């Protein structure tokens, strides 16, 4: 059986190189943002990445990313609001298994269009990992 790391490696292939990226997150500042600027940026070659629920309100997106695939975010993975969006999910090694440490990570089936990345826990506060990842398929919370 493939490990999550092997599945992620196959799914990623060769990453597309982009010069500029606009990362949109949901939060209080999103409510006052001029959303026409997002489309304006994408029209000029800026890669637009939506994090979590930003995909719901952004007029456009090239990719989606989450570290938290819970009941609030899972419906977005089948969201058809934006055609051509690449979906990326960083999860622990035990994600989707019946004995996963986190209850809502158990027995989850995600659409095949989702690119998986390994979420690596560390010894820091809230299990964060110190320093940047040395592997392109691993994410540190």
Which is nearest to 38 in space by CA: 52, 53, 51, 21?
A: 21
Maximum Cα–Cα distance across the chain: 47
Q: Could you tell me if residue 97 is left (phi over 0), alpha (psi between -120 and 50 degrees) or otherwise beta?
A: beta
pLDDT in the model for residue 129 = 59
Task: Measure the CA–CA gap between 84 and 91, rounded to whole angstroms.
Answer: 22
* pTM of the complete model beyond 0.75: no
- The residue assigned the tokens 């997150």 is 25
- pLDDT of the chain along its 141 residues, tens only? 344 444 444 444 445 566 788 889 888 877 777 888 888 888 888 999 999 889 888 888 999 998 878 888 888 876 665 678 888 888 888 888 899 888 888 888 777 778 888 877 666 655 565 555 555 555 655
């Amino acid at each position: 059986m493939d490990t999550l790391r092997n599945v992620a490696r196959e799914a990623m292939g060769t990453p597309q190189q982009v010069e500029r990226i606009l990362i949109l997150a949901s939060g209080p500042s999103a409510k006052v943002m001029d959303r026409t600027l997002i489309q304006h940026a994408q029209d000029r070659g800026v890669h637009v990445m939506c994090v979590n629920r930003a995909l719901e309100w952004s007029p456009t997106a090239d990719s989606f990313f989450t570290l938290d695939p819970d009941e609030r975010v899972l419906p977005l993975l089948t969201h058809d609001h934006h055609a051509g969006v690449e979906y990326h999910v960083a999860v622990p090694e035990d994600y989707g298994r019946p004995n996963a440490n986190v209850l809502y990570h158990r027995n989850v089936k995600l659409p095949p269009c989702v690119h998986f990345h390994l979420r690596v826990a560390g010894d820091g506060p809230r299990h964060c990992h110190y320093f940047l990842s040395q592997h392109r398929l691993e994410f540190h919370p």
